[in-house]
A and B are shown apart, each in its own frame.
Chain A
Amino acid sequence: MNNQTFYKPGDSIFHRCDSRTKLAIIVGVTLLSFLFFNPVVPAVLSIVVFIFNFISTGRYAFTNSLTKLFIVTIFLLVLIHGFANPIGKTPALFFGHEFTIPFFGTFSLEGAYFGLTYGFRVTAIALVSLLYISTTHPTEIVKGFTKLGVPYNIGFMILMSLQLIPISSREAQIIISAQKARGLVERTIWDKIKGLVPLFVPLVVISMERMETMAMALEARAFGSSSKPTPLYKVNFSAKDFVIVIFFLVISVAAVVLRVKCGGLNWIGNMHGWSNLFLPAIRG
């Protein structure tokens, strides 16, 4: 639609599948990343979901702000937990030396393990959410919710407000350039704040007019005259949706069974060196 939303039009498998299928993927990935307490599972999930993103939106999988933000987040979590998490016992060796920040602590393997686990968990969930919002048109998102039982009118109103955001911010851009053309200077922060006033008044007026038109146009097309408008799709849920949902269901069930039988696959109590971050130590 435009650069104010995450949505990127396309024709990938994820664009074509039902929005409820994508919600199921989100639930599956969230469950899987929280079932086990080690960095490997959420890291693998993050990479897989990143590949999904790359398949569906190509370069946007790298360039979007969310992916960048979460790479930084992983790094920060590892740093903070590595130095400060009281769980830390085994110092990590950097070329044979421990690394200590005075009053803060020594960088520990357990802390790093902890930080990586949480970092990859939130990253996997963020990336799978990105997959959802970048391949699903806002209308389709709302329709998905209506199909899951949210009332039609409420879903529609959410949708209309979503659409107002990009339109309004484009309008704001136009007003700002118009005012700069008339000599509005923005050198200091104070200038910027003062500049908001002449921006706001026309923006509010325009938005009010626009909402009036929106409401009128909806009424003029009999919106709300029936709570059950004619459905225009046959079945949205196709064979590929079934395959995807069943695939995630099977993996999730298998993971739950594994969790019950073997516990959380947690080896934080048995750390000896850097390699143990991603590989449990061989017994002995």
Chain B
Amino acid sequence: MAAVLEFKNVNYTYPDRKEAALKNINFTVEKGEFVGIIGPNNAGKSTICRTTNGLIPNSFGGELKGSIFVNGENINDKKTALLAQRVGMVFSDPEAQLSQMSVWEEISFGAANLCVPKQEIFSRLENVLKLLKIEKLRDRSPFELSGGEQQRVAIASVLAMQPEILVLDEPTSNLDPQGTEEVFAAVKDLNKKSNITVVIVEHEIELLAEYADRIIFMNNGEIVLNGPPSEVFHSIDIFDQAGMNIPQVTETAYILDKTYKKWGNAPYPMTVDEAYEKFSAIK
């Protein structure tokens, strides 16, 4: 498998800041993977996202050391606009990302800025409308939609640039539970059915536990844990120290294990279904 995204010894400090926001970051993301990034406030999650499409250092300034590769190509010193078509980025504030008069123009906006021919733009438009199940919203104003719909339009609008990887920075943090569910289902679909590589910063740990192939846990600008969800959520002490939650069923299993010694060697469950199976096994 080929690495779509690779960080090698990346260090970064924002201008006028003493403490580094990223400290010696190393990780790779393989093609088709679904990677979740979690961590407490100010851990550096957004900062990582911004380095993947050149917003750091192009727009933010500051000092970026180390190398970042997209599909094997070093992207240091590349312009944001050039990277825009390689790394699609979605942010948490749905309204602030939208600027056009109708959903279809919103989706075509990025591709038009890249001077993609009109016929090609329209065929991509049809395609992403279908992928995100927003065909019906086509002629609506993006500002009249629900948060979940707006976020799906935002995702569609970067997908129309046909990026090699989709990076989402807390796409559900401004949404109600229904919107969160909608967006998550859409992202999961893109990943599982269309094989789009996804890197997502998310605090809905339960959802990540269910869908992510791998979870990266950050704290204080460093990567503390990096592995499959079952492994990462097993390190409950680290989550406790950072004041973070783990899935409730995982915590329940942990308590059963530590307090009542009723668990054995099996990994802790992460989803309700898994928990049901494993909890019914202990009598």
Contact = CB atoms under 8 A, between A and B. Distances in A.
Interface of A: 1-2, 9, 137, 139-140, 156, 159-160, 163, 167, 209-211, 213-226, 228-232
B13 interface: no
A79 to B, nearest CB: 43
Given A140-B101, A221-B109, A222-B110, A1 B88 contact: no
Nearest to A211: B96
Contacts of B91: 213, 216-217
B69 to A, nearest CB: 19
B96 A139 contact: no
B96 A230 contact: no
Contacts of B100: 139
9 tightest CB-CB pairs across the interface, nearest first? A225-B81, A221-B110, A217-B97, A213-B96, A139-B101, A222-B113, A222-B84, A220-B89, A230-B112
A222 B99 contact: no
Given A137-B101, A160-B99, A222-B81, A229 B113 contact: yes
Contacts of A222: 80-81, 84-85, 110, 113-114, 161
Interface of B: 50, 53, 55, 58-59, 79-82, 84-85, 88-89, 91-93, 95-97, 99-101, 105, 108-118, 121, 141, 143-144, 154, 157-158, 161
Given A213-B91, A220-B84, 11 more contacts: A139-B99, A214-B96, A219-B55, A219-B80, A220-B89, A220-B110, A221-B84, A224-B81, A225-B84, A230-B117, A232-B108
Nearest to A137: B101
B93 to A, nearest CB: 5
A122 B95 CA distance: 37
A185 B81 CA distance: 49
Of the listed residues A159, A167, A218, A231, the one surrounded by the most CB atoms of chain B closer than 10 A to its CB is: A218
Contact of A226 (B95, B105, B113, B157): B113
A83 B154 CA distance: 61
Nearest to B55: A216
A139 B101 CA distance: 6
Contacts of A218: 99
A220 B80 contact: yes
A217 B96 contact: yes
Contact of B50 (A216, A221, A228, A231): A216
A160 to B, nearest CB: 6
Nearest to A139: B101
